[in-house]
Amino acid sequence: MQSDPQFQTLTRIFEAALSRIDPYGMLVSRMRVQGTRLVVELEHARHEVDLSRFSRILVLGCGKASARMAKAVEDILADRLPEGMGFGGLVCTKCGHTEELGRIEQAEAAHPVPDEAGVAAARRIAELARGADEKTLVLNLISGGGSALLPAPMTYADGGREVVLTLAHKQAVTRALLACGADIREINCVRKHLSELKGGRFLRLLAPATSISLILSDVVGDRLDTIASGITSADGSTYAEALGIVRGYGIAQAIPAEVLRALELGAAGAIPETPKEGDAALAHATNLLIGTNHAALLAACDMARDLGYNVAPLTCLLTGEAREVARFLSGIGQDVRRTGMLVKTPACVILGGETVVTLTGEGKGGRNQEMALAFLAEMERDPEQGRGIAFLSASTDGTDGPTDAAGAYASPLMLARARAAGLSTAEALRANDSYHFFEAIGGLYKTGPTRTNVCDLHMLLVE
C-alpha cells in the first residue's frame, strides 16, 4: 500500500481523529484537582465535587477505553488513590487493550461475544460496588464495548422455580442479534433486560455512594441509556420493547427458551423493570459525556483541510445496512467528481456513525470491511466512474467485527489488484468474506488496539 498516496492521505486523516479522541488526553485536559475539589470541565458543562466529604475514592469501569481512562485517573488523582495494585479499583477492558497501571486493577475479557472472564470481572466489580458507602466517591469509567465485557446474567423466578441465566445463554442471544442485523440500540435493549447490572441496575448496587461516570460514547446519537447498555443511566426501554425486538427480527426460536421466557415474564410485569427516571438509585449519580463521534469527525475535517482538501462533513449519525450506505456514498463520489455537487474537488467527504450487516454467509469480516467491499463492487460496475476516487471505512477502536483490522480501503488500485488475483466482489459479498478479500490484495487497514471507541468514520477522497 506504500505506493498509493490516497491511502496514506486517508490514514493521516483518520489518525488525526484518533488523536483528538484519545481517552487519556481528553481526561487530563478536562479533569483536575483544585485544592480539595475535583473539577471536570467540559465544553458545555462543569462538575465539581468536594473530595474532603469522602474517606475513599473507588474507580470502577468497563469498555475498550476503560484502561486508558484509568491511566489518566491514576495520574490526575496521584496519591489520592490507595497504594497497591487493585486497591484503587477495577476496570474490565477488551483483551489486548490494557495499560500500565499501578493502583487500579484491570481485567481482560472477550468482545463482542462475552466470555467467562467477563462474567468473573462483573462479579468482582459488583462486589466492590456493594462495598461502597456514603463516604465513598466512585468514579465509573465507561466506554463502548462495556456491555459485552461486563456480562452479569440475571436470575429470575418462574412459577416458584428459580431460573439462572448463564453465559451460554447471553452468548447465544448476542450472536442471534448480531446476525439478524439489529442495531446497537436494539441489541442493548435486549441485553440490559437480561442483566443484573445493565440498564441502571448497577446504580442500585452503588447506593448510597456518590458516583461520577465519565463516559466515552460509541453509539449514534450519544444516548446515555445505550452506551454500555446504560449501566449508570435511567433506562427508557422496557421488557415489552425487548420482546418486540426479538419477535420482530424473527429470532425467537434462535435464542434459548430461558431467555425468551425472561422477556415474556418481564413484559407481563412478573420481573421488576430496570430503573426509570426518578428512581432513588439515581439520586447520587452524575453522568458526564467526555468524548463522541462528532469530536472525531471535526478532527478529521481539520486534518483534511490542512492537507488541501475542500471538506464536506455530512453527518455523525449515519446508520443503515453497510452495503446500502456504500452505494449511497459511491453516488456522492461520482457527483462530486463530475459536477462538483456538494463540494468542489479536490474533495474529502466525511461521515461518522455505525452501520449494520445482515449475514448471508459464513465468511470473516466486519461492517467497515463490508462497506468498503460494497463500495469496490460499485466501482467495478463502471471503473471509469471510480477514477480519482478512494474510500476508507474504519472503526475508531481498531477492531472491525471479530477481526484484527479496523476497516478496509477501496480505490481503482484495489480494484486492479482484485482483478489480477481473480477475486470476485459479488462472491465475497455473498459469503460476507470481506476480510479475506482485502487481505489478499493488501486493502485491510490495521491500527492495532486504539484504546478508544467512538463508532466509525467513513472518508471519501475525490481528486
User: Do 103 and 221 share a domain, yes or no?
Assistant: yes
pLDDT per residue over 198-208, tens digit each?
999 999 999 99
User: Do 278 and 300 share a domain, yes or no?
Assistant: no
User: Do 206 and 316 share a domain, yes or no?
Assistant: no
Predicted pLDDT of residue 319: 95
Q: How far apart are CA 6 and CA 252, in angstroms?
A: 46
**Lowest-confidence segment of 1-15, 257-271, 318-332 by average pLDDT:** 1-15
Residue with cell 466529604: 53
The predicted model gives 431-435 an average pLDDT of 98
SS3 content of the chain, % helix, strand, coil (to 5): 40, 20, 35
In a domain, 118, yes or no: yes
- Asked whether residue 2 carries a pLDDT value surpassing 80, the answer given is no
Whether 460 contacts 349, CB under 8 Å? yes
Rounded to the nearest angstrom, the gap between the alpha carbon of residue 267 and the centroid of all alpha carbons in its chain is 28
Choose the final residue of a domain: 222, 256, 291: 291
Q: Report the CATH number that the domain containing residue 49 is assigned in CATH.
A: 3.40.50.10180
The predicted model gives 317-343 an average pLDDT of 95
Cell of 445: 487497514
Cell of 424: 470476485
User: Do 282 and 376 share a domain, yes or no?
Assistant: no
Partners of 136 in the β-ladder: 56
Q: Report the CATH number that the domain containing residue 310 is assigned in CATH.
A: 3.40.1480.10
Q: At what angle do helices 367-381 and 412-420 cross, to 10 degrees?
A: 80
User: Do 230 and 370 share a domain, yes or no?
Assistant: no
User: Do 302 and 408 share a domain, yes or no?
Assistant: yes
Task: Give one word for 160, left, alpha or beta, with left for phi > 0 and alpha for psi -120 to 50.
Answer: left
pLDDT range class, residue 87, cuts 50, 70, 90: confident
Whether 106 contacts 91, CB under 8 Å? yes
* Integer angstrom CA distances of residue 394 from 121, 133, 193, 227, 422: 29, 42, 30, 20, 25
User: Do 281 and 337 share a domain, yes or no?
Assistant: no
Question: Residue 66 is part of which domain span?
Answer: 22-152+195-237+274-291
Partners of 91 in the β-ladder: 61, 106
The predicted model gives 314-339 an average pLDDT of 96
In a domain, 117, yes or no: yes
In a domain, 113, yes or no: yes
Number of residues assigned to the chain: 463
Closest to 97 (Cα-Cα) out of 148, 139, 171: 148
Predicted pLDDT of residue 45: 85
Residue with cell 421488557: 239
In a domain, 60, yes or no: yes
pLDDT range class, residue 230, cuts 50, 70, 90: very high
Overall number of domains in the chain: 2
Choose the final residue of a domain: 228, 257, 291: 291
User: Do 9 and 28 share a domain, yes or no?
Assistant: no
Q: Which residues of 149-173 are buried (b: 16+ CB within 10 A; e: fewer)?
A: bbbbbbebeeeeeebebebebbbbb
* Integer angstrom CA distances of residue 128 from 95, 205, 206, 284: 22, 9, 9, 17
In a domain, 159, yes or no: no
pLDDT per residue over 350-380, tens digit each?
999 999 999 989 999 999 999 999 999 999 9
pLDDT per residue over 171-197, tens digit each?
999 899 989 989 888 998 999 999 999
Q: Residue 405, class by beta-carbon neighbours within 10 Å (0-12 exposed, 13-18 middle, 19+ buried)?
A: buried
User: Do 110 and 202 share a domain, yes or no?
Assistant: yes
User: Do 40 and 139 share a domain, yes or no?
Assistant: yes
User: Do 300 and 278 share a domain, yes or no?
Assistant: no
In a domain, 384, yes or no: yes
Q: How far apart are CA 409 and CA 442, in angstroms?
A: 9
pLDDT range class, residue 68, cuts 50, 70, 90: very high
In a domain, 248, yes or no: no
- Asked whether residue 1 carries a pLDDT value surpassing 60, the answer given is no
Mean pLDDT (the chain) is: 95
User: Do 218 and 332 share a domain, yes or no?
Assistant: no
Whether 174 contacts 187, CB under 8 Å? yes
- Percent above pLDDT 90 for the chain: 89
pLDDT per residue over 126-176, tens digit each?
999 999 999 999 999 999 999 999 999 999 999 999 999 999 999 999 899
In a domain, 258, yes or no: no
Cell of 77: 488523582
Closest to 42 (Cα-Cα) out of 301, 298, 291: 291
Closest to 183 (Cα-Cα) out of 367, 393, 402, 329: 367
